[in-house]
Structures are given as C-alpha cells and as structure tokens.
C-alpha cells in the first residue's frame, strides 16, 4: 500500500472519531445543564480542556465551549472528507456517500443561527452518521491493509480522547457529585453498560475500573488498546516493512491495562494516564516512521 493511502485512511478515521467524540461529550453536558445548573461554569471549563483546548478563555465558559466544539466538529468532518476524497479508489462508494452526506449536513446545521437554536440536531446527526459510517465500512470494505489502518486511526483517537476525559474528571470531581459521574459514563456511552456490571451505584473507583479495564466494552481504554494492537499486528504482517518496536510499544500498552490492579492504578491515576498518552504518542510516531515517512532506502530494501 502507498504511504499516502495509509496516511489518508488513518487520518480520515481519526478525524471522524474526533468529531463523534466531541459531539457526544458536548451533547451529554448540554443535558446535564438541566439537572445541575449551579456547576455549569466549572463543567464547561472541564469540557473545554478534555476536548483539547489549550488557549486561555476569559468570560463565559459555556459560550467558549460551544464555539470550540462547533469549530472542532466542522473542522474534523471537513478533514475526514478531504482525506477520504484523496483515496476514493480505496474506499467503497457507500463509505464516500455516507461521509459526503455528513459533511453537507454538518455545514448546513453548523451555521450560527441553526447551531444556536438547535445544537442537538447537529450533535445527533454527527454521532449517528459516524456510527453508520463505521457499520458501512465494516460491511462494504475488504478487511485488508486499508481497513486495518482505518481501525488503527479509530482506536488510537479513542484511547487518547477517553484517557484525557477520565483524567480531567478525576482531578476535579468529588465522589459525592453523583450526576457528574453519570455524565462521565454517558460521555463514553457507558452508563447502561456500567449499570449492568455494577448496578447504578456511582463509586469513582468502579467507574475508573470499567472505563479503563473492561475488555468487552467498546469505549473502554483496554478494549480500544486491544483492537489497536491487533490492527497494528495485522498491518505489520501484511507489509514488507515490519517493525518490532511498534509491536513492543503496543505490547507495553496492553500489558499495563491487562495486569495492573485497579488499586495500584487509583493510587497514581494521573501518572498512569500520562503513561498511556505517552505510549500512544510513541506508537503514532512509530506508525509514521514505518509506514508513512520512512526513508527511500527502507522501501528499496523491502
């Protein structure tokens, strides 16, 4: 596979996952405003940080968060579509149609008047269309190298976004803030699944255990890491440019989630999450070194 194709498929998937995550988190916290308006300002500062805002914001945190979320959603969808356009011959017609439809719908719903009056319409469209795109991808695309790079992009983005969300929440929310813990679970589409495992009792260590270590829930960090590792292994097996380093990094990431007791994690959660993010960053760099920005000598040797 050409390096430009791998790069476009990887980023198409990452950007679409980013748009879906942003829409989901924003929608959950808009609903929480109805239940706990008193904590509104603090909540939106946390949302801004979890979505990756690095600039200081003065004044209304709610307005700043809404503007940031809208800009991130539209930018991510536009970037996903542009990457898909560059590899039209590698993806199915159904995938392109689904993504192109989302692009035009989001542009229409993202106009200032529409967004301010009916933000939930855009947020719902983005989350539903992203889920549909994933289903169409799995149903209509050959599960070869290209499909594996789409999985790598999806789960890389998911691991990092979920880890940041968990870290910020545990830094600022007390055990008694019941609705905030429900909000964290809903931000990861995890409330109903959590209740099936632990009942509806909100205990911070159980929430952390579920979101970090559950191997069967699609939005847990461990589930995403397991699938990231498998796709990296599949891509490695399918190409002549093999990398032991990438496998070792993915293995370290998997082992940290598979074998570290929750008590040890909770004793230093901040450092544990930072280590996950560091390993993800190293894996991302490794993907570029092996598959995308490799020197010409490596391609000749392969």
SS3 state of residue 279: helix
* Max Cα–Cα distance, the chain, nearest Å: 63
pLDDT tens for each residue of 41-92: 788 988 999 999 988 777 788 999 999 999 999 999 999 999 999 999 999 9
| Residue among 142, 120, 160 nearest 284 (CA) | 160
For the purposes of burial, counting CB atoms within 10 Å of the CB of 82, is it exposed (0-12), middle (13-18) or buried (19 or more)?
A: middle
| Residue among 182, 211, 172 nearest 35 (CA) | 182
Distances (CA, A) of 179 to 25, 182, 254: 14, 5, 31
| Tokens (6 digits) for 123 | 């947020």
Q: Which whole number is the average pLDDT over 17-46? A: 87
CA distance 82 to 196: 40
Residue 18 scores a pLDDT above 90: yes
pLDDT value for 33? 85
Assess contact for 219 and 162: CB atoms under 8 A: yes
pTM for the whole structure: 0.93
Share of the chain above pLDDT 90, in %: 78
pLDDT value for 149? 97
Residue 300 scores a pLDDT above 50: no
Contacts for 162 with CB less than 8 Å, ≥ 6 apart: 188, 211, 219, 220, 221, 224
Residue 140 scores a pLDDT above 50: yes
Residue 40 scores a pLDDT above 90: no
pLDDT tier, 298 (very low <50, low <70, confident <90, very high otherwise): very low
pLDDT value for 302? 40
Name the average pLDDT for the chain.
Answer: 92
């Amino acid at each position: 596979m050409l390096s430009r194709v791998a790069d476009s498929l990887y980023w198409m998937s990452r950007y679409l996952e980013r748009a879906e995550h942003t829409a989901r988190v924003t929608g959950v916290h808009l609903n929480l405003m109805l239940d706990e308006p008193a904590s509104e300002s603090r909540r939106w500062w946390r949302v801004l940080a979890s979505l990756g805002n690095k600039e200081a914001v003065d004044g209304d945190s709610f307005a700043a968060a809404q503007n940031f979320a809208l800009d991130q959603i539209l930018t991510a969808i536009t970037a996903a579509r542009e990457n898909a356009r560059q590899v039209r011959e590698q993806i199915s017609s159904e995938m392109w149609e689904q993504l192109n439809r989302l692009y035009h719908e989001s542009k229409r719903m993202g106009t200032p008047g529409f967004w301010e009056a009916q933000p939930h319409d855009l947020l719902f469209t983005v989350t539903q269309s992203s889920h549909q795109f994933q289903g169409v991808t799995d149903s209509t695309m050959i599960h070869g190298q290209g499909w594996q790079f789409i999985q790598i992009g999806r789960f890389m983005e998911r691991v990092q976004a979920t880890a940041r969300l968990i870290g910020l929440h545990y830094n600022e929310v007390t055990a008694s803030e019941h609705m905030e813990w429900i909000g964290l679970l809903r931000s990861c589409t995890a409330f109903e699944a959590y209740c099936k495992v632990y009942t509806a009792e909100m205990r911070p260590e159980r929430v952390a255990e579920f979101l970090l270590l559950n191997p069967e829930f699609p939005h847990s960090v461990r589930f995403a890491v397991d699938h990231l590792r498998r796709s990296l292994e599949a891509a490695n097996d399918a190409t002549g440019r093999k990398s032991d380093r990438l496998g070792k990094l993915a293995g370290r990431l998997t082992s940290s989630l598979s074998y570290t007791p929750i008590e040890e994690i909770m004793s230093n959660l901040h450092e544990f999450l930072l280590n996950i993010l560091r390993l993800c960053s190293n894996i991302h760099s490794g993907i570029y070194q092996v598959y995308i920005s490799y020197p010409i000598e490596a391609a000749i040797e392969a």
